[in-house]
Structure 1
């Protein structure tokens, strides 16, 4: 990873507004005071590992909702690509289009030389503070499953 040294735990989460598959822009700070947020950065729609990861998170959406948490997927693909991929794989969590990798850079997970974001998970509490982060060493790795993130949420 280009900026794996960036540790945001204990820091206010960088705010952003991005277009989404919900048909409207999503602003991170709009969840403050109401929900925890899990940001799932992933490299590309339709890629093999991502096509396991996001459906797994989507399949646990009820568990996340029961824990007062919203899951948002983010990468550099367009909303149109996100919608096609979500339809094909049954992904129901909102997918956000970070076309210029600006948000990935804010979170230290942009891989600019490849034009993608790395695979990473950030847990942001209801106060807007990053409470957990995990950045995979390689984009093909997927070691933090939804169960592990749910366990971290229960610790809040």
Structure 2
């Protein structure tokens, strides 16, 4: 069961594509966070979604908001993916222990071994304010994220 709006967000501390630790707690009191889970790097729908975010980056990475994208891929795969697509925002690896953070947010598909398409908008106090969960083949609508961020 995915984390619902109004719940305290479980903390995230994962390595990014450069091996640096990134913690959700580091943004508390400073920025809202768009925490986006995606199944796998280099796949069609995931690449399309992440490139669309890249193309609208000032909306999702600015003085008030930080985008963090999480997959169950290794940091090495995420680094190549980020460099190839020039994302400009952190890709976090939930590779080992496999899916720990994805499970904490209720978006890990045990049968497939990866996260489904879950997005959580977390306010500066660490409270989940908006969520959307899509099945693996179904892309999310970025305009919904923008509307949810504007409501904070």
Is TM (by shorter chain) over 0.5? yes
**Equivalents in 1 of 2:23, 2:82: separation in Å?**
20
Segments of 5+ residues of structure 1 without an aligned counterpart are none
Instruction: State which of 116, 126, 142 in structure 1 corresponds to 2:124.
Output: 126
Kindly state the Cα deviation for residue 82 of structure 1 after the two structures are TM-superposed.
Answer: 0.5
1:143–1:65 CA distance, 2 compared to 1 (3 A):
closer
Normalised by the length of structure 2, the TM-score is 0.93
Kindly state the Cα deviation for residue 64 of structure 1 after the two structures are TM-superposed.
Answer: 2.2
Normalised by the length of structure 1, the TM-score is 0.91
Alpha-carbon contact 1:123-1:133 (below 8 Å) kept: yes
Instruction: State which of 53, 57, 62 in structure 1 corresponds to 2:53.
Output: 57
Segments of 5+ residues of structure 2 without an aligned counterpart are none
Aligned length: 150
**TM-superposition CA deviations, 1:10-29 (whole Å, max 9, x none):** 01100121000254100111
Residue 101 of structure 2 corresponds to 103
Which 4+ residue blocks in structure 1 deviate beyond 4 angstroms?
A: none
Matched residue of 2:111: which SS? helix
Residue 139 of structure 1 corresponds to 136
**TM-superposition CA deviations, 1:69-92 (whole Å, max 9, x none):** 000110100111001011112211
Residue 71 of structure 1 corresponds to 67
Farther off after superposition, 70-79 or 87-96: 87-96
